[in-house]
Structures are given as C-alpha cells and as structure tokens.
Structure 1
Amino acid sequence: MTLKAIIFDMDGVLVDSEGFWAKAELDVFSSYGVQITDELAAQTKYMTTQEVTEFWYDKFPWENLNVSSVEQEVVSRVIEMIHSEDCAMDGIKEFIKTIKDKEYKVGLATNAPLRVADAVLEKLQIRDYFDAVHSSEFEKQGKPHPAVYLTSAKKLGVEPKHCIAIEDSYSGLKAAKEAGMKTVVFTNDNETLDFEIADFKILNFKEALLPVL
C-alpha cells in the first residue's frame, strides 16, 4: 500500500479516558434511578454516547428529562475529567508530530461526541496536527459500522486504501477494516492484547514507530 494518512481513534488511544466514561455514566444515570450492573454495562462499552443513553433509558425510563439532555450531562462530566486529570497517552504528542513531519495527513475518527474530541485536542495541545476530526454523532451508526472512517478519509481527501487506522478495540478495528483501511492495534503495553483482525501492533507510543512508515 502507499500510505498517505493515519487516522486515530480517541478514547484508549490519544487519552486513557475509558474510566472517565464509566464513572460519568454511573454518576449521571444512577442519579435518575438507573440500576447499573457490570453485566449490563459491558453491553454498552463500544456504543456511542447516544446509544448508551438510549440503552439505559429503555431499561430504566426516567421522567422529566429527555434522552438528549441526560446524554449531554454525561458528556459534560467526561469533559470535566479530561480537563482536570492527567490522561494523555505517554508519547502521543511526539508520535503524532513525527507523522506530521513526514508529511502524512492525520485524522481523528471517534464514537465520542465532537465536543469531547475538542476537549481532548485542546488538553493535549495537538489540534494543529490534525487535518480532519470526525465523530460518529454525525453518522447514522457508530463503530463497528465503517461510516466514521469513510467520512474521515473523504475529509482528508485520501482514498481509504491509502489510510491506516490506529485503534484499541475490536469494534474500532472492524470499522476501519470494513472501510477498506489497514489497521494497527494499540495495546498500551498490554502484551496479552492481540486482535488477529489488526495488520500491525503497537505496544506504546514512546518506543514505537508505525511499521509501515
């Protein structure tokens, strides 16, 4: 392949923020009478924020507030934690700068709402490195559907076959694969994490360069 663009997932790749989502959802949904269990929460792990909120509303419908308002409470809570906690993945800023210095295009494709992506890019001070930022909230379906990746490639002006996606989940890898891209699984130094669907693996951003660069 002729690589022209690298597209990053956000949660679990740019920032170690998945615990923020779990805490925010627990705090907000519980306040409206939702009885969250580990078993049910596991079913929501890779959903969009809207899908997660609708999931809990269907099981424990609350009164007086619509689903969108409660969803935005969760999003606001996550953004608060992004701003207040040290959540950047080690070496991520330098890794992206290296890619930009080699004149590849850089994109972000996330299931999270755009305002969370904005908060992350601001926190890490990496907005200027990104040529396109896209969220599944503007698609009919989130990952594992490929739409967010297909639109990201279009925004970058690069055909999917010339893109590589960096993901930390099977759901995200599947989305990128179905979009026609090569994939890298980022494990954050978890030696046991390995997805056969991925073309390459990166343990961390401090010691690794993309194998295809």
Structure 2
Amino acid sequence: MSLKAVLFDMDGVIVDTEPLHRKAYFATFNELEIAVSEDLYTSFTGASTKRVCETLIQKYGLNHTHEAIAVIKRSYFKDYFDNDEEFDLIPGVRELIQHYHENDIKLILASSATMTTINMVFEKFGLEDYFSGKISGAALKESKPHPEVFLLAAQMAEEPVENCMVIEDSTNGILAANRAKIFCAAYRSPHSKNQDYTLADIVVTDYEELELDKLSKYF
C-alpha cells in the first residue's frame, strides 16, 4: 500500500470556526434578549443550527420560527467570518496542504459542514486549487461516526481505502475513519476538549509530523 490520497476534515483540522459560531450565537441570544448559560451553550456542541433554535424556542417561549433565528445567527456568523481579525487557518495546515499537493497526493475535503461554509472557507483562504473534490456531510443521509463521508471521499479520489489517510480531530470523525477502514491521523489541537483518540492510528500535535517522509513507515 502507498499513500495516494488524503481526506481532510475541515473544522478543527483546517480552520477553527467554533469561536465564530460562539460569537454569532451569543450576539443572537442578545438580540433575542435571552440569557443562555455556559452550561446550556456547551450542551449545543455538535448539534445542528435547527436543533439549537428549536431548543431555544421551547425553553424561552420565543415567537420566532427556527428559520428566523437561523437567519439572524447566519448573518452574524458571516460578519465575523469576513471581519474577525483572529480567524485564520490552523497553524501549519497550509504548508501541509502545499506539501501533499507538490508531491501529487490527491486531496479531498470530507466535512460535516454545509457546502456554503466549505466554499466560504476555500474562497477566503485560497484553497480551491489544491483539492480535487469536496464533500459536505450535511448533504448525506448519514453523518459521522457513520463511515459514508470517507468512503465517498475515497471513491472521489479514485483510490482504494488502503491508499488513503484521513486527518480528523473529533471522536466521531476518528470513529468514522476507523469504520471505513482508512488510516487515521488525529490532530490534537489546543482547542480539542474531551475527544477520544484511542482508535486513531497516529496522534499528532504539529502538522510537520504528517509530512510524507515521517509517514513512510506506515505506507
């Protein structure tokens, strides 16, 4: 087996949009004049916008539809996305993407984010030319930890799973890669809280550790 394709997760691997979502949600709570505790906000982790909005309507007896609240949240998110000074690529990831690209490794994005968010990230940071495909898990029937998104990404790369590697940062993503029988490199970032890396094949804290010469003992 040899490494021919790398399947990238996006959030927590290429960018960290969590702080932007957080700011957008709290600006929304402010506009709706509701006080949401840290505990309640934490319980929203990984939930869809629709589910969060439905919870707020129920809990606070709001007269809004979940669509209306989602529109408010999205407009704040876009504003922070375009203008937040601190929002940038995760350190070292651009260099890693370029390194794979120069060495003719096919790159596929396999993210749970919506295609709108994926395209916003790719446009803002000029990533389009490096990737040969993008898949949004939001458009699939099953989401991670179901392996579907990574199996589709391997198909898109036209490579057998043994010639692919997944880069993930979350318990669900690592489990999905494991179920797809694809070698998984887990990126442990300073922001990763309570994620389980047990099923990852390797765990790294710096993207230099995923350069091809360092991976040669696995592929």
TM-score (normalised: structure 1):
0.83
Identity value in percent:
28
Q: 1:162 to 1:34 in 2, by over 3 A?
A: farther
User: How do residues 189-200 of structure 1 correspond to structure 2 at under 5 angstroms?
Assistant: 195-200=197-202
Give the distance between the partners of 2:136 and 2:111, measured in 1 at CA.
5
Per the TM alignment, residue 171 of structure 1 is displaced from its structure 2 partner at its CA by 1.9
**1:31 matches 2:31:** yes
Question: 1:83 — aligned with what?
Answer: 82
Residue deviations 1:167-195 (CA, integer Å, cap 9, x gap): 11112211222222211111236899771
Instruction: Summarize deviations over 1:118-171 as a string: whole Å, max 9, x none.
Output: 111112111110111111220124322323223322332233343211111112
Structure 1 segment 30-109 matched on structure 2, within 5 A: 30-32=30-32, 35-60=35-60, 62-64=62-64, 66-84=65-83, 85=85, 86-109=87-110
SS of the counterpart of 1:145?
coil
Q: Given the superposition, is the C-alpha separation of residues 56 and 194 from structure 1 closer, same or farther in structure 2, using an over 3 Å criterion?
A: same
Q: Is the 8 A contact 2:135 2:149 kept in 1?
A: yes
Following the alignment from structure 1 to structure 2, what is the Cα–Cα distance between the partners of residues 163 and 57?
Answer: 43
* Preserved CA contact (<8 Å) 2:96 2:208: yes
What CA distance in whole angstroms lies between the structure 2 residues aligned with 1:196 and 1:157?
A: 28
Residues paired across the two proteins, number: 212
Unmatched runs of 5 consecutive residues or more in structure 2: none
The Cα of 1:87 is off from its aligned counterpart by 1.7
Residue aligning to 2:215: 212
Distance 1:58 1:161 in 2: 47
Provide the residue aligned with 1:20 in structure 2. 20
CA distance in 2, matches of 1:143, 1:2: 25
In the alignment, is the contact (CA less than 8 A) between 1:146 and 1:175 conserved in 2?
A: yes
What SS does the aligned partner of 2:186 have?
Answer: strand
CA RMSD of aligned residues (A): 2.8
Q: Which piece of structure 1 moves more, 88-97 or 158-167? A: 158-167
Instruction: Provide the TM-score with structure 2 as the length reference.
Output: 0.81
Gap runs ≥5 in structure 1: none
Which has the larger Rg?
Answer: 2
Number of the residue aligned with 1:187: 188
The answer on whether the counterparts of 1:49 and 1:112 sit within 8 Å (CA) in structure 2 is no
Cα gap change, 1:94 to 1:146, in 2 (>3 Å): same
Aligned to 1:122: 123
Distance in 1 (CA, whole Å) between partners of 2:67 and 2:102 is 40
Structure 2 distance, partners of 1:73, 1:191, is: 27
